[in-house]
Structure 1
Amino acid sequence: MLQEKTIAIIKATVPVLEVHGEAITRRFYERLFEAHPELLNVFNINNQRQGRQQAALANAVYAAAVHIEKLDTIIPVVKQIGAKHRSLGVLPAHYPIVGEHLLGAMRDVLQENATDEIISAWAEAYGIIAQAFIDVEKELYEAAAEQPGGWEGLRSFRITRRIKESDVIDSFYLEPLDQKSIAAFQPGQYLTLQLKAPGVDYAQMRHYSLSDSPNKSYYRISVKREDERDTTPGGLISRYIHSLSVGDTVEVAAPAGEFIIPENTQPLTLLSGGVGMTPFMSYMNTAADQASERHIVWIHAALNGDVHAFAEESEQLAERLTHLTKRVVYERPTDRDERDKQFDAKGYITADVLREAGFHPEGLFFICGPEPFMRAMYHLLTKLGVKQENITFEFFGPASSIEAQAIAN
């Protein structure tokens, strides 16, 4: 437990963090990588270049300061981040290193305003927060290694099949090189791959949703190739994955993730944008295998039919799931799309699209896709009276505040 004096000091720094939070986290990463370049393999270099990682850490530090007297409220976030830490190989020994450079960055940026009293208070608070992560991650490491077919660290898998799903998305079927059994997973979870792209000095870790049902001899991930667009750089690792062939091997951490749909009878609405449909493909395949009778509305948004992955497979699933209502929305349909009528609405997912599909406002809602899409869907759902606690979304980059940004827009 934190002392009352410590809590008061931390709360007093909230206005300072609002102003200087991102400068502190930028300086933190500079210090961290200068002292420990080996940790570069844990962080997505594109997110670093775009400032997303720095902004996400600033949000996390700010949230810790705001909720410092009731840290139990952030435990669900600790579990979500802890799952990613486990898949990335974050260890207890890393936390003192992070603490040292975070406090050092506060001193560097705030200078004389970073008094010994303030730094001491933050050191005490960081110790408690770090221990919460260490405790959660210990359980996750043990569960991953001790489950049937589980393993510790990384395991070598061979690409045994590669299927083109759209102009930009390919599915990769992965089987273990040792030919032993593999761990089961829950629909909505992901694999973490360690990949060493040519021209990069260190390996990179990436999360990819599992897109098929569990309990098979393989894992399937479906990866979008992120090409350069205007001023947006392309995805270094996604393009590298798309250069791989059947027979190539990759290093994989055991399945992880908290984007899991509870098994109950509540009506369910799934909203996906682009490659965000992959975790829902896993859920739908599993539901079809189990002959589920749950009421499900699934609305998928894509630019057009050329980039709409799993169009045929999802139609087959809709035929097997008699209680599923599926709708497809194309932002800018091609002439072929217009001719073949392979979509249900043009433009964006709107309240009218949701109502026509028969969604239940009192049910559960899961959203996956690009951040602007998730923000727009969250805003739409809350306007329609859906309770915030019934809305779940999935991040693969650094998590920013979808709720705050949606409300602000």
Structure 2
Amino acid sequence: MLTESAAAVVRATLPAVGAAIEDITERFYGKLFAARPELLRDLFNRGNQAAGTQRQALAGSIAAFATYLVEHPDERPDVMLNRIAHKHASLGVRADEYPLVHRHLFEAIAEVLGDALTPEVAAAWDEVYWLMANALIAIETRLYAEQGVAGGDVWRQWEVVARTEETPHVASFLLRPADGHPAPAFRAGQYVSVQVQLADGARQIRQYSLTGAPSATTRAIAVKQVTGTGGDPDGEVSHHLHTHVRQGDQLRVSAPYGDLVLEPGDAPLLLASAGIGCTPMLAMLEQLVATGHPGPVTVVHADRSPGDHALSGDHEALTAKLPAATAHFWYEDPDSGHRTGRVDLTDVPLETGTRAYLCGPLPFMRAVRGQLLDKGVAAADIHYEVFGPDLWLAQA
């Protein structure tokens, strides 16, 4: 952890650094992409960069990590680190890329802070950076070893063996390794990265949850086509997959990663999702059915209408196969025959010791998390998945 001298300096300068952190991260990304333009083209999400959400996420993670170090000097924020490391591993981030980040980040810090960045301040924040970086490198090294791959070498070619139109805006893709080797194992709730080459030559990457139970030869993903609103562009990768990818085509897919996985045991569970966030919950339900989970399972889902609820038949059928499971669906459509409006757990009974798993838009997860806390669910028992920059820790 931080040395006592560094902790004192970080504690004293955290307000100033925190106030400038978004300016720092904006300059950092400008420097990084000027030196390595291929990183923006082939690694970072260009949509998130244009919207500024990636910058906010990096700023939030640095500030959250530094704050945790000074408030809990004998601990480490492993939940945050594990989530970041899984995302990095799914992208194939390598240990030798951390010095590059360090160089451009500290150049940006020096420009923004100016004379306030004394040698003592620089040394203290350097210590913060390498504590975070080395922790991530260690976790990512372990994750790569667990998949039996060299650091960063997570990619394989997969063939699309079937495509199904689940709703007008969601398509599912059944995949198998193009080399004929067995598909790597995964845990219910995990995701893969998919990299596609776009018309301008960029090779953009997005993450998609694996659906269904593991088999020796195939894996499945469901992709919602992201349509831009309010002047925002359409989702580059989802648009490409919906428009161009058909049976017989090949995709570049990573090994599976993600820390939103079911813990062993028969504890009461709540699986809450909205929109395409149902995909990891379906994999969890399949696992619970396969293992004969005897405990109570409360399934909660929110969507625009029954017709927009992707894989709704599987959602209902899997819930019905569990001996102590109930499903509660909310739709915006007032004529759906189900509950309408926003998810309201007031009248949904939850047993003591419930573990909750959430996936969906951030406003949905914040609202459900708040309701769960009000119902007495322990904060440590509420787990979530965010696709895209993780802004939760900065704003929760």
- Could you tell me the TM-score, scaled by structure 1's length? 0.91
Alignment coverage as a number of residue pairs: 391
Consecutive unaligned residues of structure 1, counting only runs of 5 or more, are: none
CA contact (8 A) 2:332 2:340 kept: yes
Query: In the alignment, which residue of structure 2 is the partner of 1:348?
Result: 342
What letter matches 1:63 in structure 2?
Answer: A
Q: CA deviation at 1:361?
A: 4.9
Equivalent of 1:365 in 337, 356, 361 = 356
CA contact (8 A) 2:268 2:297 kept: yes
Query: For 2:370 and 2:167, how far apart are their aligned partners in 1?
Result: 29
Q: CA deviation at 1:276?
A: 0.4
SS in 2 for 1:73: coil
State whether structure 2 residue 293 is matched by structure 1 residue 300.
no
Query: In the alignment, which residue of structure 1 is the partner of 2:46?
Result: 45
Structure 1 stretch 282-291 or stretch 267-276: which is displaced more? Answer: 282-291
Q: CA deviation at 1:18?
A: 2.7
Consecutive unaligned residues of structure 2, counting only runs of 5 or more, are: none
What letter matches 1:157 in structure 2?
Answer: W
What letter matches 1:273 in structure 2?
Answer: A
What letter matches 1:133 in structure 2?
Answer: L
CA contact (8 A) 1:64 1:71 kept: no
| CA displacement 1:42-73 (0-9 Å, x = unmatched) | 21111111111111111111112212343732
Q: CA deviation at 1:292?
A: 2.4
Query: In the alignment, which residue of structure 1 is the partner of 2:30?
Result: 30
Q: CA deviation at 1:146?
A: 6.2
What letter matches 1:395 in structure 2?
Answer: V
Query: For 1:95 and 1:363, how far apart are their aligned partners in 2?
Result: 39
CA contact (8 A) 2:24 2:109 kept: yes
Query: In the alignment, which residue of structure 1 is the partner of 2:81?
Result: 78
What letter matches 1:290 in structure 2?
Answer: T
SS in 2 for 1:145: coil
Query: After superposition, where does 1:214-253 map in structure 2 within 5 Å?
Result: 214-243=214-243, 244-253=245-254
Query: In the alignment, which residue of structure 2 is the partner of 1:207?
Result: 207
CA contact (8 A) 1:191 1:208 kept: yes
Query: In the alignment, which residue of structure 1 is the partner of 2:13?
Result: 13
Structure 1 stretch 38-47 or stretch 314-323: which is displaced more? Answer: 314-323
Query: For 2:179 and 2:246, how far apart are their aligned partners in 1?
Result: 19
Q: 1:230 to 1:129 in 2, by over 3 A?
A: closer
Query: For 1:66 and 1:230, how far apart are their aligned partners in 2?
Result: 35
Query: For 2:293 and 2:378, how far apart are their aligned partners in 1?
Result: 25
Query: For 2:154 and 2:395, how far apart are their aligned partners in 1?
Result: 36
Moved over 6 A (4+): none
Query: For 2:353 and 2:119, how far apart are their aligned partners in 1?
Result: 50
Equivalent of 2:91 in 88, 92, 97 = 88
Query: In the alignment, which residue of structure 2 is the partner of 1:131?
Result: 134
SS in 1 for 2:202: coil
What letter matches 2:47 in structure 1?
Answer: N
Query: In the alignment, which residue of structure 1 is the partner of 2:172?
Result: 171
Query: After superposition, where does 1:270-349 map in structure 2 within 5 Å?
Result: 270-333=271-334, 335=335, 337=336, 341=337, 343=338, 345-349=339-343
What letter matches 1:229 in structure 2?
Answer: T
**What percent of counterpart residues are identical?**
34
Give the root-mean-square deviation of aligned CA atoms: 1.9
Q: CA deviation at 1:241?
A: 1.0
- Could you tell me the TM-score, scaled by structure 2's length? 0.94
Query: For 2:104 and 2:202, how far apart are their aligned partners in 1?
Result: 21
Query: For 2:345 and 2:177, how far apart are their aligned partners in 1?
Result: 45
SS in 2 for 1:351: coil
| CA displacement 1:1-32 (0-9 Å, x = unmatched) | 54322221111121112311111111111011
| CA displacement 1:78-104 (0-9 Å, x = unmatched) | 122111111111111100000111111
Query: In the alignment, which residue of structure 2 is the partner of 1:393?
Result: 384
Query: In the alignment, which residue of structure 2 is the partner of 1:384?
Result: 375
Structure 1 stretch 7-16 or stretch 312-321: which is displaced more? Answer: 312-321
What letter matches 1:112 in structure 2?
Answer: D
